[in-house]
Amino acid sequence: MTKLIRQSAIYHLICFLWLKIKTLAVSSLSGGILSGIMDFFGRLSQGSGVRHIFASNCSTDEKWRESVTFHVIDAVVNFIPWLIGKLSEKCGKLLEGSVIFRILRKLGGFAPYVVCLSLLVMMSVHHKHWDNTYSLAMAALSLGFLWLGSLRGRGAGRIDIGAIGFWPIVFAVVCMASAFWSPNPDDSFRFLFFFVTCILFVAACVSSVDSEKKLYVLTLGCAAGLIICSVYGFYQNFVIGIPASSSFTDLSLNATMPGRVYSFFDNPNTFANVLVFFAPLMLTLTIYAPKKWTKVVFAFAFIVAVAALLMTYSRGAWLAFAVSIAIVVMLLRPRMIPFFVVLVIVMIPFLPASIFNRLITIFVGGDSSINSRAYIYTAMYELIKDHPLTGVGLGAAAVKKIADYGGYYQAHFPFIHAHSIYMEIWAESGIMAIVSFVLTIFFGLKKGVTTTLHSGKNGLLKGVGAGCVGGIAGAMVFGITDYAWYYPRVMVFFWLLMAMVYTAAKLCYRTGKPESIE
């Protein structure tokens, strides 16, 4: 079919016209100016100090891997797979004839597929039927399958804490420790289980995904889950119908706005967070996926995710998504930055009236959701000022009790959480938590940028690196005015996105050690 198309007269006519237009555009004054602007942004990006900061190597992880502390932690964390491996070596000859032993040893290679299936399930189950213990059970199962790999011997089945890095581990330790000094231990230990779930998933994902094929499968699972929850959002909006709710919208300023889509996640902002996390990854894999049919899958996932994002009417998510795509463009096509800016500006007048009016409410003032944040941020500032070092205990419920009963919060709106991931983390676990969190994000972005720029012709690693950088950056922008981790499933999604960055960086490092960009 492709050969027939290329031999047709219409195909040759289109090519002839395109070359003529391209030649005229390049030779014209406006074309020369435009080309100069594109070259300027390309050179600016290549020589940018910001790009150098994010793309250069960081010796923190290397020094940490050489430290005694690293080897102690590594030995403790990997005691179980070490023990399983030793027992397998000692009893290998006796067990070799056992059918059960051979099955268990083969199952050790299925950990990445369990992580993939878990991600798909978490994105596809309605909140009415969801229990957060399901996430913990799936995370433990993923780690269990990883440990079964130890039956193969030769150090298999180990948790690769070196690939995860120093600062994520510091952040995890500080946050878990804050549950023990919380004045509300019941609430904090309940939230501790959500942290443990994320830790297990990250450990299982980074350690078990040891090939590009397995990473590819994980991204396809992500695409499938995103398609399911986005398409359900369409069904919710156009078939079931969603009435406008004062719980999610100031109806006095948004009288013509329809109900906000929330898919399986109980809250439109929560659903919007999921879309912001993964939509940039779908875009980059549309470009760089190694197989044509999967390019179609990723493209479809991106299109339905963007459409669903519009139906959430989440202003913060729209801004975060724009930033995430801008960062992807800067990484992959820096010369196209002017086109992206112009495209965004030109599209504004053509937006549906309901979306355009929703955007305008950011600037007109009087919106109750925006006004309520002023009271929340004031309360959180005072709370953090009184508890700067240790916070008030892990979990949003612990912060809520202190904010309400401690007299920090004075508004008549109900206090739920800090509406800022940065203030919430500081309020919960103290200054060391917020510092280690910011450094975790910074070095995670560095790994993603380095992977993107040094993956060479490896399209999958380039696409995963750039897409995850866009998603994480978007999450951090959205996190300025929202606290996505209040919904535990979204917290797991965020850390699985980080895990994909660590995995891509690990695979890139193995195929060719990244070098500093000068």
pLDDT tens, position by position, 64-113? 888 888 889 989 998 988 888 888 777 766 666 677 777 777 777 889 99
With CA atoms as reference, report the closest residue to 237 among 262, 212, 202.
262
Angstrom distance (rounded) from CA 250 to CA 353? 17
Q: According to the model, what pLDDT value does residue 517 have? A: 31
Higher pLDDT pick, 225 / 19: 225
pLDDT band at 370 (very low <50, low <70, confident <90, very high): low
Comparison of pLDDT for 21 and 333, the residue scoring more: 333
Dihedral sign, CA of 98, 99, 105, 111?
negative
The encoded tokens of residue 469 equal: 């950088």
Compute the Cα dihedral for 321, 325, 327, 328 and give only its sign: positive
* Ranges 204-208, 229-233, 257-261, 297-301: which has the least confidence: 257-261
Residue type, 274: V
Interatomic CA distance for residues 460 and 269, integer angstroms: 30
Q: How does DSSP assign 365-387, residue by residue?
A: ---HHHHHHHHHHHHHHHHHHHS
Tens of pLDDT along 336-357? 777 767 776 777 665 665 565 6
Distance of alpha carbon 481 from alpha carbon 334, whole angstroms: 28
| pLDDT band at residue 37 using 50, 70 and 90 as cut-offs | very low
- Name the phi and psi angles at 468, rounded to 5: -70, -35
Joined tokens for residue 236: 């919710």
User: What Å distances lie between residue 442 and 58, 123, 168, 215, 343, CA to CA?
Assistant: 11, 27, 11, 23, 29
- Can you give the pLDDT at residue 456? 79
Q: Which residue has the higher pLDDT, 171 or 350?
A: 171
For all residues of the chain together, what is the average pLDDT? Answer: 82
Which residue do the tokens 């399209």 mark? 459
Question: Taking each helix axis from N to C terminus, what angle separates 396-405 and 185-208, rounded to the nearest 10 degrees?
Answer: 150
H or E segment to which residue 289 belongs: none
pLDDT given for residue 516 in this prediction: 35
Select the more confidently predicted residue: 54 or 381. 381
State yes or no: pLDDT of 493 exceeds 60.
Answer: yes
Q: Round to whole Å and give the CA distance between 111 and 144.
A: 8
Q: How confident is the model at residue 88, as a pLDDT?
A: 76
Q: How confident is the model over 370-392, as a mean pLDDT?
A: 88
Per-residue pLDDT at 139: 96
Q: What local confidence, expressed as pLDDT, does residue 41 receive?
A: 46
Q: Which of 336, 223, 233 is nearest to 281 (CA)?
A: 223
Q: What is the DSSP letter of 127?
A: G
* Averaged pLDDT for residues 364-370: 58
Among 28, 144, 145, 152, smallest CA distance to 89 is for: 152
Category of 419 on φ-ψ map: left (φ > 0), alpha (ψ -120 to 50) or beta? left
Q: What is the pLDDT of residue 479?
A: 93
Predicted confidence band at 313 (pLDDT cuts at 50, 70, 90)? confident
CA–CA separation, 51 and 331 (whole Å): 9
Mean pLDDT of 358-365: 57
> Does the structure show a pLDDT above 90 at 510?
no
How does pLDDT run across 113-169, given as a tens digit for each residue?
Answer: 999 999 999 999 999 999 999 999 999 999 999 998 887 766 678 999 989 999 999
Mean pLDDT for 467-477 is: 95
pTM for the full predicted model: 0.84
Q: How far apart, in Å, do the first and last CA atoms of the chain sit?
A: 46
Between 208 and 455, residue with greater pLDDT: 208
Question: For residue 403, is pLDDT > 70?
Answer: yes
Overall average pLDDT of the 463-479 stretch? 95
Which of 5-14, 332-341, 379-388 is predicted least confidently? 5-14
Query: Of 1-10, 108-117, 210-219, 501-510, where does mean pLDDT reach its minimum?
Result: 1-10
pLDDT score at 489 = 94
